[in-house]
């Protein structure tokens, strides 16, 4: 649907009537530009805009279908820009991706937003308070939208860093040792982050290089350089998060392996201790005809005390205590 549309002359917003008539006037006077904002447009809604602006069919197809890689494509009479938007969901620590697409042509800008991330109403409102910036034309809109998207990357970057610090604390500073599923989920979100930010950095660098002395005026170059610097910093962080998460996952798996080995040593030690009385009981529990030690006795007063069974129990106890102390000293228990 069309969220907003307006004419901007000398940086000031004006009402917009019929798109075709307004564009004819703008191109005739060479003053100002038309800005149309769309949100999740249907084929029919986009066809109405395309009928008036005559956009390139390949760019229109990408804009309607969505799910594009970040890029800047220059066609005969327009420039098509795809930006990947990110939104951090606090409740689940997930990163939701969306898209903002821009068509920049002769005296018009069309912004198309897919998804809930990075609303553009605030961008338009901020620009309308700075008529001097809007006076530079449609490239000011491109910079403002791109700057907003990258600023949102910085916000997501900050939240991912908090999640990473929390996972590090769980793995290295707690007895529980963290959860492999949590580590893997964050690593997957970092990869999603990287797929959005890295292609944009490469594309923006090429766009600035091609636009130097051409479609990018000298006064706009510092603004795009500033966006590129912020984006480069974010990408450095994302790469470091990816490497660090790989190390954390390896450390977690090593910790789990060590704990499993410790558990197996304890189990083995207790099995060895239990094997002694089991063996003795197995031998002396047989119905042999002659086992003298079981019938050994001493005379006590007028009676006779048979101590054979107590002797066997004492041997079992001494053996178990000896094994227990040996395993305790070796660290198995």
Residue 297 has a pLDDT of 62
Tell me the average pLDDT across 192-211.
87
Residue 167 has a pLDDT of 84
Burial track 221-235 (b if 16+ CB lie within 10 A, e otherwise)? eebbeebbebbeebb
Tell whether the model's pLDDT for residue 333 goes beyond 70: no
Tell me the average pLDDT across 77-87.
89
| pLDDT tens per residue, range 135-173 | 888 888 999 999 999 999 999 999 999 988 888 888 777
Distances from the Cα of 327 to the Cα of 128, 271, 277, angstroms: 78, 12, 17
How high does pLDDT run on average in the chain? Answer: 82
Cβ proximity of 2 and 37 under 8 Å: yes
Q: Kindly state the percentage of the chain with pLDDT values over 70.
A: 86
> Residue with structure tokens 């908090």?
162
Tell whether the model's pLDDT for residue 178 goes beyond 70: no
Higher pLDDT, 66 or 213: 66
* Cα 321 to Cα 115: distance, rounded to the nearest angstrom: 69
Tell me the average pLDDT across 316-331.
76
Burial class (CB in 10 A: 0-12, 13-18, 19+), 22: buried
How remote is the C-alpha of 223 from its chain's centroid? Answer: 28
Q: Virtual CA dihedral for 9, 11, 17, 23, nearest 10 degrees?
A: 50
| pLDDT tens per residue, range 214-236 | 667 888 888 889 999 999 999 99
What sections of the chain are H helices per DSSP?
Answer: 19-29, 43-53, 57-65, 121-128, 131-134, 138-173, 180-211, 221-284, 308-330
Burial class (CB in 10 A: 0-12, 13-18, 19+), 305: exposed
Q: Model-level pTM?
A: 0.75
């Amino acid at each position: 649907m069309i969220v907003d549309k307006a004419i901007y002359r000398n940086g000031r917003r004006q009402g917009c009537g019929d798109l075709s008539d307004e564009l004819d006037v703008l191109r005739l006077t060479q003053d100002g530009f038309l800005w149309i904002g769309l949100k999740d447009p249907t084929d029919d809604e986009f066809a109405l805009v395309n009928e008036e602006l005559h956009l390139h069919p390949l760019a229109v197809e990408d804009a309607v279908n969505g799910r594009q890689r970040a890029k800047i494509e220059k066609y005969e009479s327009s420039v098509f820009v795809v930006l990947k938007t990110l939104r951090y969901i606090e409740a689940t620590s997930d990163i939701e991706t969306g898209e903002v697409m821009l068509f920049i042509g002769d005296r018009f800008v069309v912004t198309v937003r897919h998804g809930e991330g990075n609303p553009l109403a605030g961008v338009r409102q901020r620009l309308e308070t700075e008529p001097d910036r809007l006076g530079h034309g449609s490239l000011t809109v491109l910079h403002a939208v791109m700057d907003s998207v990258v600023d949102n990357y910085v916000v997501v970057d900050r939240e991912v860093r908090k999640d990473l610090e929390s996972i590090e604390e769980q793995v290295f500073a707690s007895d529980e040792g963290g959860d492999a599923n949590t580590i893997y989920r964050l690593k997957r979100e970092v990869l999603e982050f990287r797929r959005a930010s890295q292609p944009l950095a490469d594309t923006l660098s090429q766009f600035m290089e091609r636009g130097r002395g051409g479609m990018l005026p000298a006064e706009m170059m510092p603004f795009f350089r500033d966006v590129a610097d912020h984006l480069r910093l974010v990408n450095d962080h994302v790469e470091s998060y990816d490497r660090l998460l790989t190390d954390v996952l390896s450390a977690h798996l090593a910790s789990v392996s060590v704990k499993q080995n410790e558990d197996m040593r304890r189990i083995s030690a207790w099995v060895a201790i239990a094997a002694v009385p089991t063996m003795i009981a197995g031998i002396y529990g047989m119905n042999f005809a002659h086992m003298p030690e079981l019938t050994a006795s001493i005379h006590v007063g007028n009676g006779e005390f048979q101590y054979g069974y107590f002797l066997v129990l004492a041997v079992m106890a001494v053996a178990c205590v000896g094994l227990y102390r040996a395993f305790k000293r070796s660290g198995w228990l």
